[in-house]
Amino acid sequence: MVLQYFLPQSLEGVSLAQVRSHNSSLKNLAPGLVAIFVGGTSGISHYTAREFARNTTSSHIYLIGRNEKEAARITQELQTINSSSKVDFIKKDVSLLREVDAACKEIKEKEKKVNLLFMTIGTLTLKGRDETPEGLDKKFALHYYSRMRFIQNLAPELTAAANDADPKANLSRVVSVYDPFIGKKGVPNFADLSLKTGFSLGACATHASAMQNFALERFARMYPATSFIHEQPGGVETGLAKSPIWKPVYFLAKPFLVEKVESGERHLFEATAPRYAPKAKAGGVEDVVIGADGVKGSGFYHLSWNGAASGPSDKETAMRADGAEKKIWEHTEEVYKKICAESGKY
């Protein structure tokens, strides 16, 4: 489980030269793109926000996290990289769904459109089930429930961006950095989707990955003008590497790590390149990749650290045929209803 973070998937990827050439072309996009980095106070979101600021004009960047000091430092850094960028920090503990709603409300009051929703919130804690006041496990909430809630809340603004008449302003993309491959190999326990009784770190990873894969597939069908990416970033030295437990692991894995700047560059590519086009716009894209359902250009993509896309596993195909998406989404809606609509606990 741990090692696979550091071992690159053996899929054919995108060269760094190709990544850099594409990223430098982003200056031709319209000014004023709006990008939200959920987890922007550290690691992969920070590295990607840096490249986003460098390569776009007058963009509006939101950083969401809890660490005010880091947010202030990163805000200054982004504005030094590109003084035309506007940066706002939203301080929220988004392991709580009601705080996710509050963060989205703040964004909706200021923005009519969102071009990029980029999410990396998470923790590599080895603790067992750690219940939030809303009744969910904290790690599981960060990796699944909160991320899907951000998408659900901001779907109208992502759609508004997609519908912009100016083709240089109609980027509309969701990137969730976690790991689609765990959920391709494992099957969730459909009788205990929130892991109220059967929690283990392995089960939490399988559920967060598989449930996210199916939820993103559903979003891609509902919002065909937006593309949805679930990505495994490879091993990257980030905030995770600072904890005493993980420091030695990252030290030993150093030769296999994706370098920080490269990680930011590759994530910016995934967040903007036409080869990961939304379904509605995939038609004319020559190099559009295979979707997670095995269909080219289907608008939801499972990517490896190097941008290589993969289709469904046999297990996923069997789960799909067995109605996994419906079961997972009905459960997720039930969680949102109890916590967000009824202000209760799941």
The nearer residue to ligand NAP, 153 or 170, going by C-beta atoms, is: 153
- Residue closer to ligand NAP, measured from CB, 10 or 83: 10
**What is the Cα–Cα distance from 35 to 29, expressed in whole angstroms?**
14
In the bound state with ligand NAP, the residue whose beta carbon lies nearer, of 121 and 220, is 121
Nearer to ligand NAP, 138 or 279 (CB): 138
**Rounded distance between C-alpha atoms, residue 297 and residue 275, angstroms:** 8
CA contacts within 13 A on the Cβ side of 51: 27
309-310 sheet: strands from edge to edge: 86-91, 60-65, 34-38, 116-119, 173-177, 227-231, 300-303, 309-310
Would you tell me which residues interact with ligand NAP (CB under 6 A)? Answer: 5, 39, 41-45, 65-67, 93-95, 120-123, 142-143, 177-179, 233, 235-236, 238-240
Full DSSP string of 63-80: EEES-HHHHHHHHHHHHH
User: Minimum distance between the CB of residue 39 and ligand NAP, rounded to whole angstroms?
Assistant: 3
Residue with tokens 């929703």: 117
- In the complex, minimum distance from the CB of residue 67 to ligand NAP, in angstroms, rounded to a whole number: 3
Helical residues (DSSP H) of the chain, grouped into ranges: 16-24, 43-55, 68-81, 97-110, 138-140, 146-162, 182-185, 201-222, 247-252, 260-272, 314-321, 324-336
Cα separation, 184 vs 182, in Å, equals 5
Q: What is the DSSP string of 305-318?
A: TTS-EE---HHHHH
Tell me how far, at minimum, the Cβ of 11 lies from ligand NAP, in Å.
16
Q: Which residues pair with 64 in a beta bridge?
A: 38, 90
CB 200 within 8 A of CB 251: no
Which tokens go with 163?
């519908």
The nearer residue to ligand NAP, 150 or 219, going by C-beta atoms, is: 150
Taking the complex as a whole, the smallest distance from the CB of residue 42 to ligand NAP amounts, in Å, to: 4
Taking a C-beta distance cutoff of 8 angstroms, is the pair 16, 95 a contact?
no
Residue number with CB closer to ligand NAP (178 or 276): 178
Nearest approach in angstroms of CB 280 to ligand NAP is 28
CB 279 to ligand NAP: min, Å: 25
Task: Report how far residue 230's alpha carbon sits from residue 153's, in angstroms, rounded to the nearest whole number.
Answer: 18
Residue nearest to ligand NAP (CB): 43
Q: Name the residue nearer to ligand NAP (CB basis): 179 or 270.
A: 179
> How near is the Cβ of 66 to ligand NAP at its closest, in Å?
3
Question: Would you say 161 or 177 has its CB closer to ligand NAP?
Answer: 177
Please, what is the minimum distance in Å from the beta carbon of residue 89 to ligand NAP? Answer: 9
